[in-house]
Amino acid sequence: MGGNITVANGSVEMQVADLDASKLRINLSQTLKDIPAKETLSFGQTMTDHMLMMTFDPVYGWSSPEIKPYGPISVDPAGSCFQYSTNVFEGMKAYVGPDGKPRLFRPKMNMERLARSASRVALPPFSTDELLKLVKKLVSVESRWIPVAKGYSLYVRPTIIGTKPALAVGPSDHAILYVICSPTGPWVRSGQKAISLYAVDEHVRSWPGGTGGFKLALNYAPTLMPQAVAQKLGYDQCLWLLGEDKKVTEVGAMNFFVVVQREDGGWDVITPPLDGTILPGVTRDSTLKLLAAHPSKSVLPGLSDSDKLHPQELQMTMADLRKLAEEGRLLEAFGVGTAAIVTAVARIGFEGKDINLPTHESGMGPVAQALYDRIIDIQMGRFEWEGWSVVCE
């Protein structure tokens, strides 16, 4: 049950109401939408019947949460979210398990990251435990929208926006926290087996001391123009570089991994470290833990216990990738994230030339495929692992 939180109201600190899931009001829609055929679903285009919403006021704190029909929200034109981009969001997915119950994948990590991101742009604090209770309830209410098929899910988008109606630059002591849901299919379009990347160094996605380690809306808008340029050049996504030595950071809105052949016959599976420029992705963390567990705790699907995997968090540069490719040691590259789960990379355009990755009939190399299959099985409750699949009850 929610308690109180301490917030600053001008120069005075005061106790106000925290989120309290026990105060939830449920106002169901009188007319439910038709659910489209799953094959027609495109990421983020179809919304469910209901949304979860609550507001923050500096005098009273968080309002009673409400699940209500999906629809527009009202915000003052001078609101902080419009003027100064005080907007934070999360990406989660819900699945239906073999028991018919809806479930979320490692949702506590999403709640904690949302709180860190909100703090980074000085938005009001909230109880992550209470918010998770509310998200579970919304998913339960909207469970009919969860497609039951491999690669399909209900995408859940918790969002916090600052709504202080003033043009003075400063923290927003008013906010709206809402959660919306959208049924979705596989992130990679039908018939596409692997994506191509355009390495970008003239535009920077994130920088030391900046906000790349937080999930803020302001991180995404500057990537849209370079992404459009990459697509005009015939590539699917950007590979974001940083600094004069062209360090590899992220791919599109995903964390980046490569598989490298070792001299002892094993495989290094490398991703850039969390140095403040990299988003601490839930799928990234899951990937590293699953790699470390193979084969001592669990053998990944499609691999054998003789396949030795060595997860590494190391800085990589484009020069490193080019050299590894020339030596024939760059075996796979892939991106991981909530929307895509695992997506293979076929080629990387850099300085007018392509670095080509080995091709595989399925589109994914053995490591990427193993991770994709295992994560999907955990998410859908078909493989129990570390309590990562959390039932919404």
Q: Which residues sit opposite 57 in a β-bridge?
A: 61
Q: What is the pLDDT of residues 298-317, one digit of tens each?
A: 999 999 999 999 999 999 99
Is there a contact between 254 and 337 (Cβ–Cβ < 8 Å)?
yes
CB-based contacts of 95: which residues, under 8 Å, 6+ apart? Answer: 102, 103, 104, 105, 146, 153, 154, 379, 380, 381, 389
Q: Would you state the structure tokens that stand for residue 105, as one six-digit string?
A: 């994948």
Q: Please tell me the predicted confidence (pLDDT) of residue 63.
A: 98
Q: Would you state the structure tokens that stand for residue 47, as one six-digit string?
A: 């919304």
d(CA 157, CA 381): 21
Q: Please tell me the predicted confidence (pLDDT) of residue 3.
A: 86
Q: Which residues sit opposite 241 in a β-bridge?
A: 248
Residue 158 vs residues 89, 111, 184, 199, 278: alpha-carbon distances, Å:
6, 9, 16, 31, 21
Q: In this structure, how many other beta carbons lie within 10 angstroms of the beta carbon of residue 185?
A: 18
- pLDDT(174) > 60: yes
Q: In this structure, how many other beta carbons lie within 10 angstroms of the beta carbon of residue 328?
A: 9
Q: Is the peptide bond before 295 cis (omega within 30 degrees of 0)?
A: yes
Q: What is the pLDDT of residues 234-274, one digit of tens each?
A: 999 999 999 999 999 999 999 999 999 999 999 999 999 99
Residue 156 vs residues 114, 185, 262, 360: alpha-carbon distances, Å:
13, 13, 39, 32
Q: Which residues sit opposite 238 in a β-bridge?
A: 198
- What domains can be seen in the chain, in order of their start residue? 4-184 (3.30.470.10), 195-381 (3.20.10.10)
Q: What is the pLDDT of residues 83-99, one digit of tens each?
A: 999 999 999 999 999 99
Average pLDDT rounded to a whole number, residues 35-57: 94
Q: Label residue 381 left, alpha or beta by phi (over 0 means left) and psi (-120 to 50 means alpha).
A: left
Q: Please tell me the predicted confidence (pLDDT) of residue 206.
A: 94
Q: Would you state the structure tokens that stand for residue 385, as one six-digit string?
A: 């692992």
Is there a contact between 127 and 22 (Cβ–Cβ < 8 Å)?
no
Q: What is the mean pLDDT of the chain?
A: 95
Reported as a pLDDT band with limits 50, 70 and 90, residue 151 is confident
- pLDDT(190) > 60: no
Whose structure tokens read 């979210």? 81
Q: What is the pLDDT of residues 105-145, one digit of tens each?
A: 999 999 999 999 999 999 999 999 999 999 999 999 999 99
- pLDDT(347) > 80: yes
Q: What percent of the chain has pLDDT over 90?
A: 90
Q: What percent of the chain has pLDDT over 70?
A: 97
Is there a contact between 164 and 55 (Cβ–Cβ < 8 Å)?
no
Residue 264's φ and ψ, nearest 5 degrees, are: -85, 5
Q: Which residues sit opposite 239 in a β-bridge?
A: 199, 251
Reported as a pLDDT band with limits 50, 70 and 90, residue 185 is confident
Residue 300 vs residues 78, 120, 303, 308, 368: alpha-carbon distances, Å:
52, 37, 6, 11, 10
Q: Please tell me the predicted confidence (pLDDT) of residue 10.
A: 67
Amino acid at 300: L
Global confidence as pTM: 0.95
